[in-house]
Amino acid sequence: MQGYDPSRLLYISRQFHIHGELLHAEPCKVGHINETYTAAYNQGGTTVRYIHQRINHEVFKDPVGLMDNLSRVTAHLRHKLQEKGSRDVTRRTLTVVPARDGNSCFQTDDGEYWRTFVFIERVRTFESVENAEQALEAGKAFGEFQHLLVDLPGERLHDTIPYFHNTRRRFEALQTALVEDRVNRASIAKAEISWVLQHENLCDVILDALANQRIPERTTHNDTKFNNVMLDADTGKAMCVVDLDTVMPGCALYDFGDMVRTTTSPTLEDELDLTKVQMRMPMFRALCRGYLEAAAPFLNKEERSLIAFSGKLITFTIGLRFLTDFLNGDSYFRVHRPQHNLDRARTQFQLVRSIEAQEEAMQTFADSL
Ligand code: GN1
Ligand code: MG
C-alpha cells in the first residue's frame, strides 16, 4: 500500500461532488484489500466527513462493473428503506458520492480507481463480538440485507471476483501452490497441509446443491465479517452493512457461514493461542436467531438444512485461502508479521474443528427456530 500523501488525497478529493474545503484526512488501517481514508470537510461552517477509497484493481479486475453493482444495490436499498418509511436512510445504507464527470468512480492518469462515500457518523464496528446481542444484530443485519435484495431489478450483477467462495477452486489453488512451492514454505506448513487434504470431502456439498438447483443463486454480500456491520454507537443496534465490493450473485449460506466464522469465537482471526479459539454456542444461537428472523421468509428447506455446515465450510475455505497465500509468498492478503497468513490459517482450522464437534447441536438449534 502506498503511504499517506496529503497532496495526492487533496487531488483525489477534488474529483468528487463535494462542497466545501478539505480540512484533514487520515488513513484507515482496517481491511486487507483496499486503501481507505476518512476526510473531513468544512461545509458552511459544519464539519462533514466522507470516505475516499482506492479500489484494489489487482483483486477487483473490473472496478467499473463493481461500481455498477454497488450503485444499483445501494440505490435499491435506499429505495426499499424509504418505502418502508425508515428514518436515517443515509446511515442505513452506503451512499455513493459521484465524481465530477458523473461516473461513480474516478480513474487517475496512472490507472488508479477512486470512489467516495458519505461517512456514517455515530456508529461503531468491532473486530470481535463482545456479547450475544451483537451476534444477534449481525445476523439480523445481513439477513435483512439479503432480504431487501431479493427483488433487485435488472440484469444479473457482475461477478466482481469469479468463483469467490468456490471451495473446490480454492482447494485446487492450494494444490497448485503446493506443487509450485514458490517460496519454499510448504515444509513449514506440513501439518496444516495434510489436515486440509484430509478434508477435501467438504468441498462439493454446497456446490452440488447449487448445481442441482436445490439451492438457488441469490444476491449476497459475500464478505459478512462482523467488522462489516456498523452498530449504532448509542443503542448497539445494527445500522448499516458495509464493504459491498463482493456483493454479487452467490449463495445465502456462504454469507451465514462467514458470520459464524467471525462472530462465534472470542478471538481475532489471527489469534496465536489456539486454546482460545472456539465456536461458542450462545453466540451461535443469537446469530442464528437474528439471521433467521430476517431471512426465514425467503430461505428454502435445503438452505436451512445446511445452516451449521455452512459455518464449517466457509471457515475451512477462508483458512484454505490464507494457507494458499502463505505458500504463494503473501501476494493477496496484507500481512503484518512473518507467517501471518499461516497463523490465520491455523486459527481457521482450529475453529473448523470446534464447529465440527458441535455441528449437530448447532443444526438442531437452527431446526428448532
Ligand atoms: C478480505 O479486506 P477484508 O478484510 O474486507 C477478503 C475476504 C476474507 C477476509 C479475511 C475481497 O476481506 O474474503 O474473508 O479478508 N476479501 C476479499 O479477513 O478477498
Ligand atoms: Mg472485504
Q: What is the pLDDT of residues 160-218, one digit of tens each?
A: 999 999 999 999 999 999 999 999 999 999 999 999 999 999 999 999 999 999 999 99
Residue 206 forms part of a structural domain: yes
The residue segments making up the domain with residue 292 are: 132-368
29 to each of 8, 35, 38, how far by Cα in Å?
18, 8, 11
What's the structural domain count of the chain? 2
Residue 1 forms part of a structural domain: no
Residues 36-68, buried b or exposed e (16+ Cβ, 10 A)? Answer: bbebbbeeeeeebebbbbbbbbebbeebeebbb
- If asked whether residues 256 and 328 sit together in one domain, one would say yes
Rounded CA-CA distance 298/77 in Å is 17
- If asked whether residues 181 and 287 sit together in one domain, one would say yes
What's the whole-number mean pLDDT along residues 66-74? 98
Which of 102, 121, 140 is a domain's end point?
121
- If asked whether residues 157 and 112 sit together in one domain, one would say no
| CB distance 223 to ligand 1 below 6 Å | yes
pLDDT tens digits along 285-341: 999 999 999 999 999 999 999 999 999 999 999 999 999 999 999 999 999 999 999
pLDDT at 2: 60
- If asked whether residues 29 and 68 sit together in one domain, one would say yes
Q: How confident is the model at residue 29 (pLDDT cuts 50, 70, 90)?
A: confident
User: Which atom of ligand 1 is nearest to 245's Cα?
Assistant: 11
pLDDT tens digits along 238-270: 999 999 999 999 999 999 999 999 999 999 999
| CB distance 270 to ligand 1 below 6 Å | no
| CB distance 325 to ligand 1 below 6 Å | no
- If asked whether residues 227 and 338 sit together in one domain, one would say yes
Residue 302 forms part of a structural domain: yes
Rounded CA-CA distance 350/60 in Å is 30
- If asked whether residues 156 and 97 sit together in one domain, one would say no
What's the whole-number mean pLDDT along residues 359-368? 98
User: Which atom of ligand 1 is nearest to 32's Cα?
Assistant: 2
Which of 121, 143, 171 is a domain's end point?
121
H helical segments located in 149-226: 167-180, 190-198, 205-211
Does the pLDDT of residue 1 top 60, yes or no? Answer: no
Residue 126 forms part of a structural domain: no
User: The whole model's pTM is what?
Assistant: 0.96
| CB distance 259 to ligand 1 below 6 Å | no
Residue 137 forms part of a structural domain: yes
Mutate which of 33, 325, 341 for ligand 1? The one with the most ligand atoms within 8 Å of its CB, which is 33
| CB distance 248 to ligand 1 below 6 Å | no
| CB distance 352 to ligand 1 below 6 Å | no
Rounded CA-CA distance 199/203 in Å is 8
Q: What is the Å distance from ligand 1's center to 191 Cα?
A: 24
| CB distance 32 to ligand 1 below 6 Å | yes
- If asked whether residues 82 and 143 sit together in one domain, one would say no
325 to each of 4, 13, 33, 340, 360, how far by Cα in Å?
26, 33, 13, 10, 32
User: Which atom of ligand 1 is nearest to 161's Cα?
Assistant: 11
Does the pLDDT of residue 19 top 60, yes or no? Answer: yes
Q: What is the Å distance from ligand 1's center to 76 Cα?
A: 24
Q: What is the Å distance from ligand 1's center to 45 Cα?
A: 38
pLDDT at 32: 79
- If asked whether residues 113 and 138 sit together in one domain, one would say no
- If asked whether residues 238 and 297 sit together in one domain, one would say yes
What's the whole-number mean pLDDT along residues 11-20? 96
- If asked whether residues 89 and 155 sit together in one domain, one would say no
Share of the chain above pLDDT 70, in %: 99
| CB distance 314 to ligand 1 below 6 Å | no
- If asked whether residues 79 and 201 sit together in one domain, one would say no
CATH number reported for the structural domain that contains residue 167 in this entry: 3.90.1200.10
Q: How confident is the model at residue 154 (pLDDT cuts 50, 70, 90)?
A: very high
- If asked whether residues 148 and 222 sit together in one domain, one would say yes
Share of the chain above pLDDT 90, in %: 96
Ligand of minimum distance to the alpha carbon of 32: 1
| CB distance 341 to ligand 1 below 6 Å | no
| CB distance 222 to ligand 1 below 6 Å | no
